[in-house]
Homo-oligomer: A and B are copies of this chain.
Amino acid sequence: MVHGQRSDYMDFAIGIDIGGTNLKVGIVDCQGNVVARLSQPVGGDKSSEGVVGQIAALVEGLRQKSPGPVLAIGCGVPGIVNFERGIVYNSPNFPLWREEPIVEMIRQRIALPLTLDNDANMHAIGEACFGAGKDHCNMVLLTLGSGIGGGLILDGKVFHGDRGFAGEVGHIVVEPGGVPCGCGGRGCLEQYAASHGFGTFLGRMSDNERKAFLKDARVPLDGITPEVVARLADGGNKVAIRLWEEFGGYLGIGIATLINVLGVETFVIGGGITKSWNRFIDAARRTALSHTYSYHADHLIIERGMLGNDAGIVGAGTHALRCAAGGLKLSKEHSP
């Protein structure tokens, strides 16, 4: 009711979700609804100039569709972001990016207040405000994909750490001396509890077991994806079922470490791999609880994200709106 009464002076923001394959923009209202959206594949020019040019054109097209004034823009970017300086240090999806002044570049094209943050932080804001993390002032978001993204909501705000590096939960070390990781380390969580994990597990099998599995899968080793393992598990393949449990076990180890470090008991899991939720979540929960104090057993919440593909734009738009309203200062706002 109240919502309806207030709709005539509702404010809107544009949420931008820069992904490695798709660029998405949406108009978000103050209740987290996406009232209009546009998206397109990332073009051939993956330089920051190229991507920002594409984004600017999408935003220009989207503004025409807004049912009310657009107050601000929020932009989520994959990679290491200095949200205060408005800079993206690097991005796994855009290997050429090096300390790109994304805020400055967007501001030259669009005259609206702009907030920038890591895509997982934006995703976390979306789930914390309108999704599976609602009503929890502490929450950790993990996105499971080719890697693992993370966003920490602590005491109701995104926690950034000293220079924006907080939430790199994919690099929790779960196996000292284990599988080498792109970060330069070894044994990082994302080598086990993300897409790569299945390759890791297959690498440890005996030759015969691996050969038999690949024969059932009817793909070569580098064709093993979560989808392939899910298809086999659906067909009753015992090894595939075990691999998903192994995957869940590592996820649970990561969650246990987060519980023990942060004392946070609400976890929201997003990303494409959650399509196989039932295959891994019991093992994850069981392992998390077996590596933490028993006091957590009645309080631990591990939920699947509710906002799906919209999480990034909902979070970015909400972030921008809240910063513009001067309320929850989730991050720094860069004026136009």
Interface positions of A (Cβ within 8 A of B): 80, 89, 138, 150, 152, 154-155, 159-176, 183-188, 249-250, 253, 256-266, 290-296, 299
Contacts and interface: CB of A to CB of B under 8 A. Distances in A.
Nearest to A136: B162
A291 to B, nearest CB: 4
Closest 10 CB pairs of A and B: A161-B263, A166-B263, A165-B263, A185-B291, A171-B260, A168-B260, A162-B265, A172-B257, A173-B253, A173-B257
A295 B165 contact: yes
Contacts of A174: 173, 176
B176 A295 contact: no
A171 B292 contact: yes
A172 B293 contact: no
A182 B261 CA distance: 16
A263 to B, nearest CB: 2
Contacts of A291: 171, 173, 183-188
A161 B185 contact: no
A160 B261 contact: no
Nearest to A162: B265
A171 to B, nearest CB: 4
5 contacts: A173-B253, A173-B256, A173-B260, A183-B292, A188-B291
Contacts of A293: 80, 165, 168, 171, 183-184
A283 to B, nearest CB: 12
B257 A184 contact: no
Given A162-B265, A257-B261, 14 more contacts: A154-B154, A162-B264, A163-B299, A165-B296, A168-B293, A169-B261, A171-B293, A172-B257, A173-B253, A173-B260, A184-B290, A184-B293, A257-B257, A261-B262
A294 B162 contact: no
A185 B290 contact: yes
A121 to B, nearest CB: 11
> Which of A169, A186, A260, A265: most chain B Cβ within 10 A?
A260
A199 B257 CA distance: 23
Contacts of A171: 256-257, 260, 291-293
Given A185-B291, A185-B292, A262-B261, A176 B80 contact: no
A93 to B, nearest CB: 16
A306 to B, nearest CB: 20
Contacts of A294: 184
Contacts of A150: 261
A294 B264 CA distance: 28
